[in-house]
Chains A and B, each alone.
Chain A
């Protein structure tokens, strides 16, 4: 088996080695010509080129798009209209009533996303923290259980969405349970409340393993002697948790919180497959709104989608800066 693996590895790397050998002579000439500085440029070039074309240019273009009108996707088919798209997104006659807004779908998506994020992040952080605390205890098979909670993280969002659509349908597994409990079967995803709850629950199910791992790493970095000292003093467990675990876990906890917020704001894939934003617009979240306005709907408006994505991006930038700040603090603590 190992021999086979080695042969396979060689078969894959062999053509690559040939290419690597072939590029060496010209690069040697280049190196003699420009020195190591020139070589640094060569090494950086492919990554930066791809990065520039597919991240930086779009980033700049996004602002341009958000200030143009029309239905065409190519820039030369579009006309400059200034801040009109933003105005359209944000304009409401009466800000307490969504219906009076010019783009009421956008406001529906914003309020849905905000509600989703509040519930999902709370649930996610709570469940992950409990799981991490439990996995941090002296239990048998800790590695196994850590893997168990991580399993859904690897599944693709489409698979996650379909698995749960199958469970929540009329003849599904959940109805088997409700019927056995003596309740009426329900078409869960046709109900506004249950569909929303499903998006919260399913996305938590799919991602909690990831946050559990980060929290567990934080818990394991807390020095054991602190707990031993607390045990000597017969400190009650709740106080140990409040006075030792929580404060020392703090930075990791903050990273998890902000990461969950960032991912929550962008939620799309599994919800799109699970509910498609429905019933009605009750699980329509921001990314789906952008996708539909920009690409999927018949009356598409790329400019409006770009404007909406810039507003979402602004929120994400703030959250990411927070995350970087917190993770730097978490690292500093670990180094100490």
Chain B
């Protein structure tokens, strides 16, 4: 163990001496790790708790489920409690019903005799267990499966269209000389200044006029012509040598074939980065879907979650579980593809 610690905390260079800055560094890093991952882990742990346990204070770290027992003479399984009886003995009893501060209980072994226990003298028998119903019920009953499907559809379609249209535009802007090329580039730079939040009202009326209101395409189309995507791909395509294109033209390849069979495969790394970004962007979109979609069956996960979380009586056990579901694709991207994103940002400064 101590060898592992020495290995982890060994400093490069400077021999083995510790400076106060090294200590500060590790406090910052370890504290940061807890702060960055802790809330999400707490969410996951909470999402497996039942409604009663969620209302408890202080909260427990792990999810527990109250044990129940089938007792002769009763149809439904009864919840089990450890009760302290009047004579001081402690027994595991099943509760039949609660009347005021008294609980009517029965010994599962001996169901004939009823025992009255003050509710202060009993505590539930619990075992670590997962309230999986939190996940199953909203997916089945509260159309979260529908929301999930809508989100998947929007993300996939938007990403495919983004990749196609952006790469075509980037190809034209990097491999052709034509009049007005600089004007087009400037126009695209200019859109960086027009975030969606500035054009909400007129965009809504345009989407309305094109008949896309309350459809998933109304969510998809306004987001796909991203200036950052065109930039990223154009920068990459500029590095593809023009000689390759010339050689293909000698062999009577059409311009479309050159784009499709030469430039696109060569730009695969940049396309992959854009695809990852696009998936995360579109999966996480909130404000625009919130405005365009007003019927429940069209909601994406983000909008559906917000609607259920905004109700007067928030059903936290469902909300937490569905938040975890919403988080899953992004966590997968983080675990497997995080490297592509971080290098993408460090290189091009995009988000």
Q: Residues of A with Cβ closer than 8 Å to B? A: 20, 23-24, 27-28, 31, 36-37, 39-40, 42-44, 46-48, 50-51, 53-62, 64-65, 73-75, 130-131, 134, 137-141, 143, 145-159, 162-167, 170-173, 175-176, 179, 185, 205, 209-210, 213-214, 216-217, 237, 255, 259, 262, 266, 268-269, 272-273, 276, 287, 290-291, 294-295, 302, 305-306, 309-310, 312-313, 316-317, 320-321, 324, 327
Contacts and interface: CB of A to CB of B under 8 A. Distances in A.
A159 B326 contact: yes
B306 A158 contact: yes
Interface in B315-351: 316, 319-320, 323, 326-327, 330, 333-334, 338-339, 341-342, 345-347, 349, 351
Interface string B232-262: 0000000000000000000000111101100
Interface stretch (B51-59, B97-105, B115-123): B51-59
B287 A268 contact: yes
Contact of B254 (A24, A44, A151): A24
Nearest to A61: B202
A148 B32 contact: yes
Contacts of B316: 166
Contacts of B339: 143
Interface of B: 7-13, 21, 25, 28-29, 32-33, 35-37, 39-40, 42-43, 46, 54-59, 164-166, 168-169, 171-173, 176, 178-179, 181, 184, 187-189, 191-195, 197-210, 221-222, 224-225, 230, 254-257, 259-260, 280, 283-284, 286-287, 291, 302, 305-306, 309-310, 316, 319-320, 323, 326-327, 330, 333-334, 338-339, 341-342, 345-347, 349, 351
A43 B170 CA distance: 8
A53 B164 contact: no
B326 to A, nearest CB: 6
B33 A134 contact: no
Given A158-B305, A176-B59, A269-B287, A166 B43 contact: yes
Given A20-B260, A27-B256, A291-B291, A214 B349 contact: yes
Nearest to B188: A51
Contacts of A51: 187-188, 191, 225
A60 B194 CA distance: 11
B176 A140 contact: no
A50 B206 CA distance: 12
A31 B254 contact: yes
A contact patch SS: helix
A295 B291 CA distance: 7
Given A58-B202, A287-B287, A295-B200, A152 B305 contact: no
Contacts of A166: 42-43, 46, 316, 320
